[in-house]
Amino acid sequence: MASYLDTAVEIAREAGALVADFFARGIPFELKGEYDLVTEADRASERLIVERLTRHFPTHAIVAEEGGGHESASGYTWYVDPLDGTTNFAHGFPCFNVTLALEQQGELTAGVIYDPIHKEMYTAERGAGAYLNGKRIHVSKVAKLANALVATGFPSRKRHLSINIHFYYQVGMLTHGVRRCGSAAIDLAFVACGRMDAFWEFGLNPWDMAAGRLLVAEAGGKFSGMHGEAHQLRGPDLLVDNGLIHEEILEIFAEVFEGKYRVPMAKI
């Protein structure tokens, strides 16, 4: 019998091919909010994923970004982002993915992130490690923040309220740099496979981070809230890294929360 992960991989591959086909054709976008884009690819991918999941697991709940999911009291919940990185997608910038993850009785147990342009399939099962295209992956061994390459993201909804630029500046000044690729799931996958050493973002949704958080944990990394507290999947914020630089990042974050800047911003 196929495992939950096998089924999720099969569905992500199918949805990824669909999304890649829309990408090749180039399609218009609509606005959900002032700067919050959505496309027919988001909706078609979600319809496909929800249909397949419901067929395989009729009793499971589905929480999907575009609202196509349904509730259930089974204790099994799938988190679905049918197209993570929609703004990139809509601009022809090839950095997006399809991601889904399963939570069983409050515990993430399986997760998939599929980038159909680069044909990269990231998978993780609780207690069984993390993989990229079937090969085991691990977080980096960078032990000092000063030698780290890190990533962050900014919300498209109510972006004028985001405090992240303060964190971005400080961490940017104290590392090799901060990348902002526009896809939270890819950022998380990159930490899991060691291409990046850390990632944080304020204002995420569970479908953005469920699979990626499991992937990072199974690749040997660490995750928490922005003050070092236990992470809540249904909360908005997430910090992940290779585990070796976690405390250093939290120290900087604590300073920024208090309004203390180690590196003052340049005067204009």
Interaction site with ligand IPD (CB under 6 A)? 81, 84-87, 153-155, 182-184, 201, 203-204, 208
Surface-to-core class of residue 130, CB atoms within 10 Å of its CB (0-12 exposed, 13-18 middle, 19+ buried): buried
Distance in angstroms (rounded) separating the CA atoms of residues 6 and 50: 16
Residues 32 and 67 sit within 8 Å (Cβ to Cβ): no
Is the Cβ of residue 197 or residue 248 nearer to ligand IPD in the bound state? 197
**Residue 84 touches Ca ion, criterion: CB under 5 A:** yes
Is the Cβ of residue 206 or residue 220 nearer to ligand IPD in the bound state? 206
111 binds, among ligand IPD, Ca ion, none (CB under 5 to 8 A by kind): none
Site string for Ca ion, 9-38 (x = CB under 5 A): ------------------------------
Alpha-carbon distances of 116 from 84, 94, 176, 181, 249, rounded to whole Å: 12, 9, 29, 16, 32
Least spacing, CB of residue 157 vs ligand IPD, in Å: 8
Alpha-carbon distances of 228 from 171, 201, 212, 255, rounded to whole Å: 16, 14, 18, 13
**Residue 237 touches Ca ion, criterion: CB under 5 A:** no
Six token digits for residue 163: 């405090």
Backbone phi and psi for residue 40, each to the nearest 5 degrees, phi listed first: -65, -30
Please pick, from the candidates 65, 197, 218, 237, the single residue that binds Ca ion as defined by CB under 5 A. 65
Closest CA to 119 of 88, 85, 94: 94
Is the Cβ of residue 64 or residue 124 nearer to ligand IPD in the bound state? 64
Least spacing, CB of residue 96 vs Ca ion, in Å: 9
Is the Cβ of residue 7 or residue 205 nearer to Ca ion in the bound state? 205
Residue whose Cβ sits closest to ligand IPD:
153
Token pair 């208090």: residue: 258
**Residue 81 touches Ca ion, criterion: CB under 5 A:** yes
Six token digits for residue 126: 């609780």
178 residue type, one letter? V
Is the Cβ of residue 202 or residue 248 nearer to ligand IPD in the bound state? 202
Is the Cβ of residue 168 or residue 207 nearer to Ca ion in the bound state? 207
Stretch binding Ca ion (CB under 5 A), from 122-130, 136-144, 200-208, 220-228: 200-208
213 residue type, one letter? R
Distance in angstroms (rounded) separating the CA atoms of residues 176 and 97: 26
Please pick, from the candidates 208, 218, 237, 248, the single residue that binds Ca ion as defined by CB under 5 A. 208
**Residue 197 touches Ca ion, criterion: CB under 5 A:** no
**Residue 201 touches Ca ion, criterion: CB under 5 A:** no
Helices (H), the chain: 4-25, 40-56, 86-90, 164-173, 184-192, 206-218, 246-257
Least spacing, CB of residue 87 vs ligand IPD, in Å: 6
Is the Cβ of residue 4 or residue 89 nearer to ligand IPD in the bound state? 89
Q: Which residues bind Ca ion (CB under 5 A)?
A: 65, 81, 83-84, 208
